[in-house]
């Protein structure tokens, strides 16, 4: 089923654009810089939805007529620790050493925002990493420069293809957007409003 309302992707992420395009969605990109901070008291699993809503709300003045904004944020959690985008090479090494041989959770929060309605939800996935050697970590960081990726890796690159044993959840969610949930929620927006 086609989504007939105009969609605005409030994200510069090439991965989110790729996922929506591959799923056949027609959309335009309009973004606004938003500081990705959140209350220290917020439970880690609620952070992505909070940030997605913050990003969508910042773009509220973009909405015209029947347009729907799609904003998202992805985090990686291991235990109670959130692993965000690495600051530099050493930080990427630290993150990947922590994730090596573990099962971590990838949560992508999404906010759909139209003039008449706001929907906030999250997609969840568990990622089982094989052990990573120091040489593999160094190779991955130097070759793929994962500085714009939560958890310092992308599932569609070498690390994801060669060192992930299993995933529970959707590949798209781990890549940065739970397209299945986005589609499901967009169906609920009444075109006549």
Annotated catalytic residues are: 73
**How many CA atoms are closer than 13 Å to the CA of 116, on its beta-carbon side?**
9
Q: Where are the alpha helices (DSSP H) in the chain?
A: 14-22, 47-58, 89-99, 134-144, 158-163, 171-175, 179-186
In angstroms, the Cα distances linking 6 to 25, 67, 113, 186, 189 are 10, 5, 12, 11, 12
């Amino acid at each position: 089923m086609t989504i007939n309302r105009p969609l605005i992707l409030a994200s510069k992420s090439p991965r989110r654009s790729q996922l929506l395009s591959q799923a056949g969605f027609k959309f335009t990109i309009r973004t606004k810089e938003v500081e990705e901070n959140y209350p220290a008291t917020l439970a880690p699993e609620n952070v992505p939805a909070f940030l997605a809503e913050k990003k969508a709300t910042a773009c509220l003045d973009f909405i015209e007529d029947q347009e729907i904004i799609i904003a998202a944020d992805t985090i990686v959690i291991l235990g109670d620790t959130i692993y965000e985008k690495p600051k530099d090479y050493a930080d990427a090494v630290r993150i990947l050493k922590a994730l090596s041989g573990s099962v971590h959770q990838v949560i992508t929060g999404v906010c759909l925002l139209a003039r008449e309605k706001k929907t906030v939800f999250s997609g969840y996935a568990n990622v089982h990493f094989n052990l990573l050697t120091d040489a593999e970590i160094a190779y991955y960081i130097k070759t793929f420069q994962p500085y714009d990726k939560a958890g310092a890796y992308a599932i569609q690159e070498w690390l994801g293809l060669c060192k992930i044993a299993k995933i529970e959840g959707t590949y798209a969610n781990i890549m940065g957007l739970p397209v299945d949930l986005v589609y499901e929620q967009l169906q609920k927006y009444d075109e006549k409003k």
